Structure 1
Amino acid sequence: MHSSNALYTDLSGYYDLMCADIDYQTQSQSAGRLHQFFGGDGRTHLDLACGTGPHIRHFLDAGYQSSGLDLNQPMLDKAQLRCPEVSFMQQNMCDFELAEPVDLITCFLYSIHYSASIDNLKACINSVVKALKPGGVFCFNAVDKDKIDNNSYVRHKAVFDQSHFVFESGWNYSGQGEKQTLNLSIEKTTAGQTQVWQDQHPMVAVSFPQLELLLSPNFEVHILEHNYEKIASWDKEAGNALFLCVKRPV
């Protein structure tokens, strides 16, 4: 099966399994700490591309009033089960609106790249600006197109419901232009029979200097080491980083 949205429709049931090695709690706590450190003590929060809602669950448990936004309804259905007290919205993160501005907007798991083009990325940033209170914080992680190793893959295995799964993911960038792909592979073996799904998801390719330039008119931008255990500045060498952006007063 080759489908650009396979993982988010017929395979949405496997999504949490695919992400089973992600430490959602540490990521959520880190973003909360960064928000308190840079943005004050407000407690309203929106998670962009929230998926099945695991980050939101941890924000709720930490005392935030959270909401979630995603394009894919099967993901939101699962998120609603996980967080029944939350109002979820099926909207495009590149063109969304909130009834009331919030204190903190997060976008985890490199999902900012799902905007797929520089124009859409600009639209996403503009939507975030409108949805944040002055002094509010936008926190997300990103990968620098100029530092991508096309031969580098992340791989992990899992067992679920008498099936064995192997998940692989990796970035691919041609070296030119604003398009890169996230290559995903799921291998499922049940009773000796193996099925393989492969997905090349279109993502926006952007360098960190480009990204900083897009953000800086509306935000004070801090580029941090991609480490959820501590706060440290990006070393200008690593290919991934945390962006901590504080909305400038109007």
Structure 2
Amino acid sequence: MKEVMISLRQLTMAFGSKVVLDELDLDVYKGETLAVIGPSGSGKSTVIKVLTGLLAPTSGSVQIEGQETSGFDDDAWDELRCHMGVVFQYSALFDFLSVGENVAFGLRQHFKLPEAEVQSRVAALLEMVGMPGTQSMMPAELSGGMKKRVGLARALAMQPQVVFYDEPTSGLDPVMTMTISRLIRKTQQTLGVTSVLVTHDMESAYFAADRIAMLYKGKIVQVGTPDEIKRSSNPIVHAFVNGLELKEEDADEQQ
């Protein structure tokens, strides 16, 4: 029996009359990488915002590490976030801090560590993401792919149990997209973290994920291994992963 790290039940997120997540059910198992795919506006990034406490769901249950988060206050969320790492779509590095200081930011905020240990951990993380010796560089000197790698190093600095990736390959060329995808897989295999990967990039999802969940109009329409998603007979899934136009009548039959 696989251990569940994250469990969503009947999760609904509405902004006024617009329902973004519609009674969504989903489990993420400990140690796996689950990719969440779907067209723009389907609610993918909203899932991460709910899981990191940036948005409070309209209704439903969100359990992380066995804790029901619906009653969490800011302090409880802050404590839980110490076990999380987030890799943002646009890297979100602090422009006024060097690469090394960006990676060390969370460590300095939440832990009182000897400076030698901070520097050692920063150096090891930059080595892991393929950017050794770049501590003194500034974000303005980095390419898009380099920024994404620094963002990953920063997300891992606090040794999180869960890592969330929000469109980590957005805007990257195919070579760098595969580099980031390999890093996601390497991070899981090396550190044993549980990961949720939100992406529209199917090659990245197929390579990095153990399972893939397809989100469409606020609902999960299928969860499966990469091979199962590739061979899916669900017309919504088949159309999306193959870049085909979805016929509304086929979509309506699946709702």
Comparing both structures, which one devotes a greater share of its residues to helix? 2
Q: TM-score range by the shorter chain?
A: 0.3 to 0.5
Scaled by the length of structure 1, the TM-score of the pair is 0.34
TM-score, length-scaled by structure 2? 0.34
Relative contact order, higher structure (CA 8 A, sep 6+): 2
Q: Which has the higher strand share?
A: 1
